[in-house]
Amino acid sequence: MNKAILTIAILGLLILFSSAYYSSPADSRIGYKAPSLVLGNSNNGLAPLQQHRGENVLLTFWSSDDAPSRLANQHYDRLSRADGVHYTHVSVNMDRSKAVFNSIVAIDSLNRSAQYNSTADAQSNITKSWRLDDGYHSFLLDTDGKIIAIDPDEKTLAHLR
């Protein structure tokens, strides 16, 4: 009887440890797998992070009424167009108005293919899962989808291979 209980306990521990080893938790902190990014129906169901699996991704969150995040998005957009860049820029706008989003993309001369607008319904979940309560940030993801930097500088981006 004791051997059966011991065997069951050991098998349970093996299952527990192997599942903890193979599935890393998602969190918006450095060293963790990036949370999922669901933008709602505004982009025809596109999932921008899934499109770039296996690539380094610079994910930028911004809003037209948050000047620092808008300026950061402009800066990262321009950097991403340079020759020899080893990452893909994905920009997520958090404005509730699609018309405002489209106007800002045109005014700021942003790369339209890198710009996404989240729906109002999705914004609460995005803010929570990416910890954006204290403001919008940019996240650098490695080829495995782990966060390696938050609000990276040009030097960090230049060292990507």
pLDDT digits (tens, 9 = 90+) for 13-72: 556 554 443 445 678 899 999 998 888 654 555 567 878 889 999 999 999 999 999 999
CA distance 53 to 38: 15
Asked whether residue 3 is assigned to any structural domain, the reply reads: no
Burial (Cβ within 10 Å: 0-12, 13-18, ≥19) of residue 107: exposed
Residue 102 lies in domain: 25-158
Residues 91 and 114 sit within 8 Å (Cβ to Cβ): yes
What integer pLDDT is reported at residue 64 of this predicted model? 95
CA distance 106 to 153: 25
Asked whether residue 1 is assigned to any structural domain, the reply reads: no
Domain with 119 in it: what CATH number?
3.40.30.10
Q: How many domains does the chain have?
A: 1
Angle (CA) 79 85 90, round 5°: 65
What is the reported pTM?
0.80
